[in-house]
Amino acid sequence: MSKNIEERGYSNADVLVSTDWVEHHLKDPQVRIAESNEDPLLYSSSHIPGAVEIDWTRDLNDPVRRDYLGRTAFEKLMRRIGASPDTTIVLYGDKNNWWATYAYWILQLFGHTNAKIMDGGRLKWIKENRPVSRDLPHYQASSYHASERDDSRLRAFRDQTLQHLEQKRPMIDVRSPEEFRGERLHMPDYPNEGALRGGHIPGARNIPWGRAVNQEDGTFKDAAELRKIYTEENKLRPEDDVIAYCRIGERSSHTWFVLSYLLGFSKVRNYDGSWTEWGNLVNVPVENPSAEARDEAAA
Rounded CA-CA distance 239/11 in Å is 14
Q: Kindly state the average pLDDT of the residues 124-140.
A: 97
Query: Does residue 94 sit in the same domain as residue 201?
Result: no
Report the C-alpha gap between 37 and 19 in whole angstroms.
Answer: 17
CB atoms within 10 A of CB 296: 8
Residue 248 is given by DSSP the state S
Whether residue 81 is found in the same domain as residue 35: yes
Residues 164 and 276 in one domain: yes
Residues 285 and 169 in one domain: yes
Residue 109 sits in the same domain as residue 237:
no
**Structural domain containing residue 210:** 158-298
Residues 93 and 162 in one domain: no
Same domain, residue pair 123 and 167: no
223 in any annotated domain: yes
User: Does residue 148 lie in a domain region?
Assistant: no
Distance from C-alpha of 72 to C-alpha of 147, rounded to nearest angstrom:
9
> Does 246 qualify as catalytic in the annotation?
yes
Domain-located, residue 136: no
User: For residue range 93-125, what is the model confidence (pLDDT) as tens digits?
Assistant: 999 999 999 999 999 999 999 999 999 999 999
How much is the mean pLDDT over the chain?
94
Please check whether residue 151 lies inside any domain of the structure: no
292 shares a domain with 169: yes
Each residue's pLDDT tens digit, 36-86: 999 999 999 999 999 999 999 999 999 999 999 999 999 999 999 999 999
State the catalytic residue, choosing from 31, 246, 248, 263.
246
Total domain count, the chain? 2
CATH of the domain at 171: 3.40.250.10
The pLDDT tens digits for 248-299 are 999 999 999 999 999 999 999 999 999 999 999 999 999 998 665 555 544 4
The pTM for the full model equals 0.95
Burial class (CB in 10 A: 0-12, 13-18, 19+), 284: middle
List the alpha helices (DSSP H) in the chain: 19-24, 42-45, 71-80, 94-109, 121-127, 158-166, 177-180, 223-227, 250-257, 274-278, 289-298
Helical (H) or strand (E) element with 64: none
216 vs 107: CA distance, rounded Å: 28
Is 194 part of any domain? yes
At 71, which amino acid appears? Answer: R
Do 123 and 182 lie in a common domain? no
Rounded average pLDDT over 120-135? 97
Phi and psi based region of residue 97 (left: phi greater than 0; alpha: psi -120 to 50; beta: remaining): left
